[in-house]
Chain A
Amino acid sequence: MINEPFAAGNSLIHNLDPRIRVGLASVYCFVIALAKHTPVLLAAIVISLSLIFITRVNPREIARRLVIVNVLIFLLWAVLPLTYGDPALFRAGPFSISGPGTKLAAQITLKCNAILLAFIALIATMPLVTLGHALNRLRVPAKIVLLLLMTYRYVFVIEQEYHRLLRAARIRGFRPGTNLHTYKTYAYVVGMLFVRAAARAERVNQAMRCRGFNGKFYTLQQFETVRHDWILATIITAMIICLLFLEWSHRA
Chain B
Amino acid sequence: MNANQPLICLKQISFSYPEAPPVINQLDLDFYRGDRIGLMAPNGSGKTTLFHLIMGLLKPISGQMEIFGKPVKEEKDFFEVRRRIGLLFQDADDQLFSPTVLEDVAFGPLNLGKSKTEAIEISRKTLEFLGLAGFENRITFKLSGGEKKLVSLATVLAMEPEILLLDEPINGLDRKTSGKLIDVLKNLDLSYMIISHDIDFLDATTHAIYTMANGKILVDQQMQVHQHVHAHPHGTYPHAHET
Which stretch from B107-115, B184-192, B205-213 is at the chain A interface? B107-115
Query: Complex formed: what's the CA distance from A204 to B87 in Å?
Result: 13
Of B55, B99, B155, the contact of A149 (CB 8 Å cutoff): B99
Q: Is A37 an interface residue (CB 8 A)?
A: no
Q: A209-B57, A211-B111 are in contact. Are A220 and B159 (CB under 8 A)?
A: no
Query: Complex formed: what's the CA distance from A218 to B112 in Å?
Result: 12
Query: Complex formed: what's the CA distance from A211 to B7 in Å?
Result: 19
Q: Is A214 an interface residue (CB 8 A)?
A: yes
Output the residue of B79, B95, B106 with the most chain A CB within 10 A: B95
Of A154, A214, A220, the contact of B111 (CB 8 Å cutoff): A214
Q: How many of chain A's residues touch chain B, expressed as a range?
A: 20 to 34
Of B97, B111, B116, B140, the contact of A207 (CB 8 Å cutoff): B97
- In the complex, which residue of chain A has the Cβ closest to the Cβ of B78? A209
Q: Is B151 an interface residue (CB 8 A)?
A: no
Contacting residues, chain B, for A211 (C-beta < 8 A): 82, 107-108, 111, 155-156, 159
Q: A153-B141, A157-B93, A212-B82 are in contact. Are A206 and B57 (CB under 8 A)?
A: yes
Interface of chain A: mostly helix, strand, loop or mixed: helix
Contacting residues, chain A, for B120 (C-beta < 8 A): 220
Task: Identify which of residues 205-230 in chain A touch chain B, using a CB-to-CB cut-off of 8 Å.
Answer: 206-214, 216, 218-220
Contacting residues, chain A, for B108 (C-beta < 8 A): 211-212
Of B94, B112, B116, B140, the contact of A212 (CB 8 Å cutoff): B112
Q: Is A195 an interface residue (CB 8 A)?
A: no
Contacting residues, chain B, for A204 (C-beta < 8 A): 94, 97
Contacting residues, chain B, for A209 (C-beta < 8 A): 57, 82
Shortest Cβ distance from residue A134 to the other chain B in the assembled complex, whole angstroms:
13
Q: Is B89 an interface residue (CB 8 A)?
A: yes
Shortest Cβ distance from residue A193 to the other chain B in the assembled complex, whole angstroms:
15
Pair B159/A212 contact, Cβ less than 8 Å:
yes
Task: Identify which of residues 79-107 in chain A touch chain B, using a CB-to-CB cut-off of 8 Å.
Answer: none
Q: Can you list, as one digit per residue, whether each of A56-85 has a CB less than 8 Å from chain B (1) or not (0)? A: 000000000000000000000000000000
Pair A210/B55 contact, Cβ less than 8 Å:
yes
Query: Complex formed: what's the CA distance from A216 to B112 in Å?
Result: 11
Query: Complex formed: what's the CA distance from A1 to B120 in Å?
Result: 31
Shortest Cβ distance from residue B172 to the other chain A in the assembled complex, whole angstroms:
14
Q: Can you list, as one digit per residue, whether each of B114-133 has a CB less than 8 Å from chain A (1) or not (0)? A: 00100110000000000000
Pair B95/A207 contact, Cβ less than 8 Å:
yes
Q: Is A192 an interface residue (CB 8 A)?
A: no
Query: Complex formed: what's the CA distance from A129 to B108 in Å?
Result: 19
Pair A200/B94 contact, Cβ less than 8 Å:
yes
Task: Identify which of residues 174-222 in chain A touch chain B, using a CB-to-CB cut-off of 8 Å.
Answer: 200, 203-204, 206-214, 216, 218-220
Q: A129-B99, A200-B94 are in contact. Are A210 and B141 (CB under 8 A)?
A: no
Shortest Cβ distance from residue B83 to the other chain A in the assembled complex, whole angstroms:
6
Pairs across A and B, CB under 8 Å, 16 listed? A149-B99, A153-B140, A153-B141, A157-B141, A206-B55, A206-B57, A208-B97, A208-B107, A210-B87, A211-B82, A211-B111, A212-B108, A213-B107, A220-B106, A220-B116, A220-B119
